[in-house]
Amino acid sequence: MLIESLAMGFELFLTPTTIGLTLIGVLIGLLVGALPGLGPLMGIILLLPVAISMPPVAAMGFLIAIFVGGSCGGSISAILLRIPGTPLAAATLFDGYPMAQNGRASDAIGIAISASAIGGLIGGMVLIVGSPLLARFASGFAPPEYALLAITGLFAIAVISGGSLVKGLISGCFGLLLATIGTDEFSTGYRFTFGTHDMLNGFHIVAVVVGLFAISEMAYQIMGRDLLKTPNIKIARPGFGSILLTLRHWKNLVRSSGIGVFFGALPGAGGVISSFTSYAIAKAWAKPDEKYGEGAEGGVVATEAANNATVGGTLVPSLALGIPGDASSAMLLGALLILGFVPGPILFEQQPEMVGGIFLVYMSANVFLLIAGILVTPLFVYVLRIPKFYLIPVVLLLCSIGTFALQASVFDLMVMLGFGLVGILFRAANYPLSPIVIGIILGPILENNLRRALLISREGYWIFLDRPVSAVLVCMNVSLIIGAIWFALRKKKKNRLMAANDRP
């Protein structure tokens, strides 16, 4: 089945459009990753309207390549500027920047790109082998299991995403509520449409997400005092020799990639946790003469391999179950849905060529990252010198034309602006935005399966405890919430004790 799927996908993959867009996606990903304040999620959001007008595999290749490139691009600014382009590259600072200070900036960037690409390829192997197995296991799932899986995904992301569990859950529920706007699939009644035709299908997810993330980010960026500043950066020219430098740390590379895949596959964990964990483990296992924190190659290898392997890991539950691991994979699922494909076991059964195509674009994106990343890094260093006052109008222009292009609708532009204001407010009050996106994606899955489960049940909600897998998921969700509350209370107690100790 796997070989067949790959063979069928190969036909879709082997077109100039798909290959070209995957390469362009990697370059755009590196660019948005390198520019502080953007990152892979923003890259995917900004270019989603462009992608959905393309053939499906090419579109997914473009977006996945942005995800792959963006997960690595942050290391360039972390190494050269001591500012991680994305939070994913925060741990790369520890050794990447000291390497640059010691005159090894080119080696540091070369190692970061090589480790990212190899980590991504290891993640890809797990994706290719693991996701069909998970999809086969999940093919026996019925509405109760899907409803509970959606709740698990939402809980996990709310718990991990932004400090406060309650705020995360509120954001997630807000997303679930947004997903109910429009025509009800079961009763065909109109919900929250206020008599307007524009809302019969609800808000377009791209307009909502562009507003929440991109508009609010630009409003925050413009508050900065560095808008006119041109960073003074020396040109770095990494060579292919850095691949050998990276492979010298092969144990670290494989271990960190494994950690990345593991955390990627857990909904909500993501690249930041995996890169910090793998750095800590690599440091703990390192020989004393490796000098972690002072420019150790192993430190860069560990963090970069982990955060790119996370991409492969996060695609496993996303493709096999339709449950996104983080906001970026939620956007990829959103794109897949817009393109007319339903992620989950059905995709593996009915459209194996699409699955094979996605596997191939993912793997090729990592190969392109290795080659193109090393070749074009000097160009990205020039891009880092562009002051922000040029960047902000570019992003806003891309937001508005991209959103307009979705349905040639001015209403979508107003939705984008409205959600931009909501995004600013939520950010200012420390409410995480990612659970909103996950809520919008998981909303229809949750509602439809919940109602279907109740329709087939003779004992109401007991159906969720009658079936073994759903009973396990109920237990998981309950323990997740209890665990989160316990951790929050423990943290509060610890902080209170610390505050008491600090008092004179």
Distances (CA, A) of 421 to 27, 194, 217, 425: 31, 21, 11, 6
Contact 68, 308 (CB under 8 A): yes
Within 139-239, residue ranges assigned H as helices are 143-161, 165-178, 205-209, 216-221
| Closest distance to other proteins from the beta carbon of 229 (Å) | 10
**For residue 84, what are its two tokens?**
């991680």
**Is 180 one of the binding residues for other proteins (CB under 8 A)?**
yes
- Which of the ranges 36-44, 78-86, 287-295, 448-456 carries the binding residues for other proteins, by CB under 8 A? 448-456
| 3-class DSSP string for 444-485 | HHHHHHHHHHHHHCCCHHHHHHHCHHHHHHHHHHHHHHHHHH
Q: Which stretch binds other proteins (CB under 8 A): 12-20, 95-103, 443-451, 467-475?
A: 443-451
Q: Point out which span in 24-32, 149-157, 471-479, 488-496 binds other proteins (CB under 8 A).
A: 488-496
With CB under 8 A as the rule, give the number of residues binding other proteins.
67
Return the residue of 284, 429, 459, 504 that touches other proteins, per CB under 8 A.
Answer: 429
Q: Which of residues 20-59 bind other proteins (CB under 8 A)?
A: 50, 53
φ, ψ at 413 (rounded to 5°)? -65, -40
Contact at 8 Å (CB) between 297 and 99? yes
Site string for other proteins, 188-207 (x = CB under 8 A): -xxxx---------------
Other CB atoms within a 10 A radius of the CB of residue 160 amount to: 23
Residues contacting 232, CB < 8 A, separation 6+: none
Q: How far apart are CA 160 and CA 381, in angstroms?
A: 33
Q: Which of 155, 359, 426, 464 binds other proteins (CB under 8 A)?
A: 426
Residue type, 370: L
- Kindly tell me which of 287 and 503 has the beta carbon lying closer to other proteins: 503
Exposure of 389 in the CB half-sphere (CA atoms within 13 A): 6
Longest CA span, the chain: 72
Identify the DSSP state of 288: G
Q: Is 250 exposed, middle or buried (0-12, 13-18, 19+ CB in 10 A)?
A: exposed
Measured from the CB atom, is 35 or 261 closer to other proteins?
35
CB of 235 to other proteins, least distance (A): 24
CB of 301 to other proteins, least distance (A): 36
Q: In this chain, which of 14, 129, 244, 425 binds other proteins, going by CB under 8 A?
A: 425
In the numeric block, the tokens 């080696």 are attached to: 107
Binding track, positions 138-177, relative to other proteins; x by CB under 8 A: --------------------------x-xx-xx--xx-xx
Q: Is 414 in the site for other proteins (CB under 8 A)?
A: yes
| H helix runs in 162-204, sequence order | 165-178
**In the set 142, 227, 286, 339, which binds other proteins (CB under 8 A)?**
227
Nearer CB in complex with other proteins: 43/420: 420
Task: Count other C-beta atoms under 10 Å from residue 468's C-beta.
Answer: 9
SS3 203: coil
Nearer to other proteins, 3 or 408 (CB): 408
Q: Is 10 in the site for other proteins (CB under 8 A)?
A: no
Residues numbered 110 to 129 that lie near other proteins (CB under 8 A) are none
Q: Which stretch binds other proteins (CB under 8 A): 73-81, 148-156, 234-242, 426-434?
A: 426-434
Interface residues with other proteins (CB under 8 A) are 50, 53, 164, 166-167, 169-170, 173-174, 176-177, 180, 184, 186-187, 189-192, 215, 218-220, 222-223, 227-228, 387-390, 392-394, 396-398, 400-401, 404-405, 408, 410, 413-414, 416-417, 420-422, 424-426, 428-431, 447, 450-452, 454-455, 492, 495-496, 499
